[in-house]
Amino acid sequence: MNKKATVGIFIIIIGGVGVYYGSSMLRAEPPAWWILTIPLPEPTEKWALIVCSDTKFSSDESPTGWAGDEYFVVGGPGQAGEFFFVEFGSCPGEWDPTHGCDLPAHSGPGSANISCGGGPNAGFWTTWDFENLNRGTPFPINDSNYYINVTACINTTNCFGPVSGWETSWDLGSVPGFGAYIGLVWLNSTNHSIGSTFSQNNFIGTNPWTTDTLLALPSVDAPAAAVGFSPVLVQDGLGDSYFDDIKISVKPNPNASTGNIIYDGFPAQAIQAYNACRNYGFDDDHIMMMIDTGDQGVNIHATDSILNDYSYHKNLYPGCYDYEEENVTKANFTREMNVSISGSWASKIKSNDDVLIYMIDHGTFINAADAVFHFVRSGNTINEAEMKALLDNIKCKRLALFVDCCFSGNFIDSLNASNRILVSAAGPNRLSWYWTMAKPQYWAGSWFFHPFWEDLNNGLTIQQAFTNASNYVPWGQANPVAIIQIPMVIDASGLLSSWNPPL
């Protein structure tokens, strides 16, 4: 801890008064001394709490009957899984044998076309009862360990002008706006549509071809009565849209809270954040570091000379880890966050200090407004109300809370205050993605928060770091993080464009 060298300003006033009459001094007053002490305000100190309470992600096992491989469900006439078309107004759909996706690794000529003329126009292609066509095995809709990935190659040469009302007539819900979209229709036990989930991209007038992606978590996105799904290709508006190489894959959710394989991703993120704080002069006794490594090494980058970042930094900063392994529990976290407990991390924070809290683990969706953060070692969670009570009792100048878990947007949405900046890796109802192990192509750590912390470490503001990390396109992905997981920031402090917490 830096010592306070100055506690006040001392002003010394010296005065002496002599009274003379003529050439004789009748009386001489002794010097008078006054000492005024003007206290200085307490200097701003920086405090950080970093908690990583798990190392496990799910295995790569797919649900029974669903191998996790991809299926081309758009093809020429007569192919299994061929879409059929539903028309509104003068909006025919047909298989176009000439227009095909020209991006690398795509299948060549041929695509599903929607061509809308005048009047109320919209249309969609679908494969009703997709799972029976392709798998013959019901998908486990309510199992949060799995998600559905839909990708498509789209060309909208001239698509404009919205149409209203047609979506609800077919129980498709509401598309994000006029344009071309890919989505999933949720089916009930009688194979009727009871809702839908669409990608958030709005393709209007895009030419050449563009790739779109939809990641849907059925346990969150599907209505309660859903038992199955089918893909849907939608045009809402005038003009022409072409869809090619629609691929559906069912994959395990690697961030599910029931994970069973130890990986480097979570602790790698905690170590990266700790390094950024130390690089900018945080005193070690101001950083509360809680890290679970699964009793193994951690490698953040496959291409650097450090094979075990955990041991390397533990030797570089002796005593840097305050709680490890089985001691990273909810009880210890809430104790350190409790200002009323003498000696706790939070009890040392003063009203003029800056505070940074970074939370890394799994998150679970509760409802549209709520989520919980997991403490896997102790087998329990912390909810928004509990977290808000802890934060509200910390009296400080500024507080930044970064939450790095699935459904973190649902978790932070009620934690706002006038001196806080809140950042989540994912938006409401969205998953947060990680590289679980370092490879030559990428690091071990968060798709969003790893580039975010890199920018903070390089002196950028929260606003700049958020923008850059949101625009990051992960290796092997067609879309940026902003589309895949929709990170969120809440700022009532007005400091978003000027504050960098590590500085």
Place of tokens 């928060």: 449
Residue 352 pLDDT > 70, yes or no? yes
Which is more confident, 288 or 119? 288
E-strand spans in 350-397? 354-360, 363-367, 370-375, 380-382
- What mean pLDDT do residues 269-279 have? 92
**Is there a domain that residue 2 lies in?**
no
E-strand spans in 16-138? 18-21, 24-28, 32-39, 46-52, 56-57, 71-72, 84-88, 93-96, 111-116, 122-126
**Is there a domain that residue 146 lies in?**
yes
Residue 191 pLDDT > 60, yes or no? yes
- What mean pLDDT do residues 388-409 have? 94
Is pTM beyond 0.85 here?
Answer: no
Residues 224 and 100 in one domain: yes
Residues 95 and 128 in one domain: yes
Neighbouring CB atoms inside 10 A of 98's CB total 9
Instruction: Please list the alpha-helical segments (H only) found in 280-353.
Output: 309-316, 330-336
Highest mean pLDDT out of 204-213, 252-261, 304-313, 443-452:
443-452
**Is there a domain that residue 454 lies in?**
yes
**Is there a domain that residue 276 lies in?**
yes
Residues 93 and 20 in one domain: no
Residues 23 and 100 in one domain: no
* Bridge partners for 240 per DSSP: 115
Residue 178 pLDDT > 80, yes or no? no
Residues 163 and 274 in one domain: no
**Cα angle vertex 207, ends 205, 210, to 5°?**
100
Structural domains of the chain, count: 3
Residues 247 and 260 in one domain: no
pLDDT at 12: 42
Residues 264 and 206 in one domain: no
* pLDDT, tens digit, 9 for 90 and up, residues 2-15: 433 444 444 444 44
The per-residue pLDDT of the chain, averaged, comes to 76
Query: Among 207, 232, 252, where does a domain finish?
Result: 252
pLDDT at 233: 78
pLDDT at 430: 81
pLDDT at 128: 43
CATH number at residue 162: 2.60.120.260
* pLDDT, tens digit, 9 for 90 and up, residues 36-69: 566 656 778 999 999 998 877 654 444 444 444 4
Nearest to 217, CA basis, from 257, 244, 246, 190? 257
Residues 28 and 115 in one domain: no
Query: What is the band of 176 on the pLDDT scale with cuts at 50, 70, 90?
Result: low
pLDDT at 360: 94
Which is more confident, 270 or 265? 270
**Is there a domain that residue 499 lies in?**
no
**Is there a domain that residue 503 lies in?**
no
**Is there a domain that residue 1 lies in?**
no
**Is there a domain that residue 135 lies in?**
yes
What is the percent of the chain with per-residue pLDDT over 70, rounded to a whole number?
A: 68
Residues 234 and 266 in one domain: no
- What mean pLDDT do residues 152-164 have? 66
Q: Are 337 and 345 in contact (CB under 8 A)?
A: yes
CATH number at residue 363: 3.40.50.1460
Residues 396 and 288 in one domain: yes
Query: What is the band of 78 on the pLDDT scale with cuts at 50, 70, 90?
Result: very low
Residues 223 and 285 in one domain: no
- What mean pLDDT do residues 354-362 have? 94
- What mean pLDDT do residues 351-363 have? 93
Residues 328 and 392 in one domain: yes
pLDDT at 147: 76
E-strand spans in 60-170? 71-72, 84-88, 93-96, 111-116, 122-126, 146-155
Highest mean pLDDT out of 56-65, 124-133, 246-255, 288-297:
288-297
Domain with 454 in it? 46-59+256-491
Query: Among 252, 271, 306, where does a domain finish?
Result: 252
